[in-house]
Structure 1
Amino acid sequence: MNAVDTATVAQRRTSRPRADALRNRERIVTAAREIFVEYGAEVPFDEIARRAGVGNATLYRHFPDREALVREVVCSVMDRTSELAEAALAEEGDAFSALRRFVHAAADERIGALCPMLSGTFDKHHPDLVAARDRIEVLVEALMERARAAGQLRSDVAVGDLMVAITQLTRPLPGTGCQGIDRFVHRHLQLFMDGLQAPARSELPGTAATLEDLRRTD
């Protein structure tokens, strides 16, 4: 084997762990997202590792503590949801159809995993989180403003109202007995979306919820 071949083999050997590590990290984040939706963010790491199909040591190598894992899950969900919003804005000609498409796609992303960010102990000011949050807020507001400008969206709702509804409908009540409600999510989202359409059929109590409202702990 010549020097070039030797170098190529060495490069492949060193690249494999990196690829494996990336796959393991993605499996951990995916498993954690599912489990946070089902049972909350306090699930033991052993259970997350088991669902991800990795060892505890692998999980801790990627995420040394619960705070790091929860933050990664939240950022991952927000990033993927932002991509869905971008696609809806770019590909749908009708404003309300774009908003409806986004809402249903976001539900499939199980954004109920964002619930930990509402906790008073969650670090809401981490740079990664702030960047992901700002991005999704701008995109969802763009979807809503487009529908509002077209006269299709009632004027008394804001981004927070939309995100609360999707989050609640994608997070079942704790316990395995409630997992079957998944099959009703899109049906109930459709009912919710019908209620968002203008003209409004009733006056909503209180004020429109912004994401800033959701971040308050008092």
Structure 2
Amino acid sequence: MQTATPVSRKATRPRADALRNRERIVAAAREMFVENGPDVPFDEIARRAGVGNATVYRNFPDRDALIREVVCCVMDRTARAAERALAEGAESGDAFAALERFAHAAADERISALCPMLAGAFDHHHPDLLAARGRVEHLVAEIMERAKAAGQLRPDVGVGDLLMVVAQLGRPPAGAVCVSLDRFVHRHLQLYLDGLRAPARSTLPGTTLTMEDLRQS
């Protein structure tokens, strides 16, 4: 009786060291894109990641592929922060504190500092980007609905209102000035969050900002 030949694990999944190299490239690219903008040479990204140029190109054949992976990675990290906030809010019973924790964590991700790289010919409708964005929006909406249901969040604000301010505060221009501005982000974000508490102390002009409003702008 002939025995079956076992399937090699290496044939069905990337090697652990290859995965680590990819993660290092994405982490290095995120840092350098935020610091210096989208035109950082691949060889400098490779140097910071501690890999060779060929390894970068093997994983990301062009700049668009690398930018997309960086943005999706940051969105995934933001989604995980939202999931943690939801779990902590459910455990503590303080829905607004959960919203605050998420907002500060999202500001630290600095996802909007990457937004200028999504302009031009970049494929804004790539399935990976749409899925990552949809996950974040759904989770943030749930965080805010829980705070509203608890009577802690003013009812006249939407997901777009929160994410726009988080984005603006986490988006100093790429370059050396970023570091000097970082120390103000959480201070100013907390001032804004305090203004979201119910009961509202004023009537907001205009209408609730939606995510569709943000995308169109």
Taking structure 2 as the reference length, the TM-score comes to 0.84
Give SS of 1:156's match: coil
1:154 matched residue in structure 2: 154
Cα deviation, residue 170, structure 1: 1.9
How far apart, CA to CA, are the structure 2 residues paired with 1:191 and 1:162?
Answer: 13
1:52-201 to structure 2, matched below 5 A, reads 52-92=49-89, 93-116=93-116, 119-201=119-201
Name the Cα RMSD after superposition: 2.6
1:71-104 deviation per Cα after TM superposition (whole angstroms, max 9, x unaligned): 1111111111111111111122211011001111
Tell me how far 1:201 sits from its aligned partner: 2.6
The equivalent of 2:48 in structure 1 is 51
Distance in 2, Cα, partners of 1:73 & 1:178: 19
CA contact under 8 A between 1:111 and 1:166: conserved in structure 2? no
Q: Which sits farther off after the overlay, 22-31 or 41-50?
A: 41-50
CA spacing shift, 1:209–1:123, aligned 2, 3 Å: farther
What is the distance in 1 between the residues matched to 2:117 and 2:48? Answer: 23
**Rounded Cα–Cα distance in structure 2 between residues aligned with 1:161 and 1:121:** 28
Q: Distance in 2 between matches of 1:199 and 1:121?
A: 45
How many residue pairs were aligned?
209
Deviates more, 1:201-210 or 1:130-139: 201-210
AA aligned opposite 1:75: C
Off by >6 Å, runs of 4+ in structure 1: 11-15
Amino acid at match of 2:214: L
Alpha-carbon contact 1:154-1:199 (below 8 Å) kept = yes
Cα 1:75–1:203 change in 2 (3 A) is same
Q: Kindly tell me: are residues 202 and 132 of structure 1, through their superposed partners in 2, closer, same or farther at Cα, counting changes over 3 Å?
A: same
- The aligned counterpart of 2:35 is 38
- Mapped to 1, the partners of 2:214 and 2:41 lie a distance apart of 26
Q: 1:110 Cα shift?
A: 2.7
Matches for 1:5-16 after TM superposition, within 5 Å: none
CA distance in 2, matches of 1:100, 1:48: 33
Alpha-carbon contact 2:113-2:172 (below 8 Å) kept:
no
Q: Distance in 1 between matches of 2:191 and 2:33?
A: 26
Q: Does the 8 A contact of 2:113 with 2:174 survive in 1?
A: no
Name the TM-score, length of structure 1 as normaliser: 0.84
Q: Which runs of 5+ in 2 are unaligned?
A: 1-7
CA contact (8 A) 2:81 2:105 kept: yes
Q: Which amino acid aligns with 1:202?
A: S
36-45 or 89-98, which deviates more: 36-45
Deviates more, 1:137-146 or 1:206-215: 206-215
Kept in 2, the 8 Å contact 1:74–1:113? The answer is: no
- Contact 2:71–2:114 (8 Å) recurs in 1: yes
Query: Given that residues 159 and 210 in structure 1 are in contact (C-alpha distance below 8 angstroms), is that contact kept between their aligned partners in structure 2?
Result: yes
Q: Distance in 2 between matches of 1:204 and 1:42?
A: 40
- Report the CA distance shift for 1:183/1:123 in structure 2 as closer, same or farther (over 3 A): same
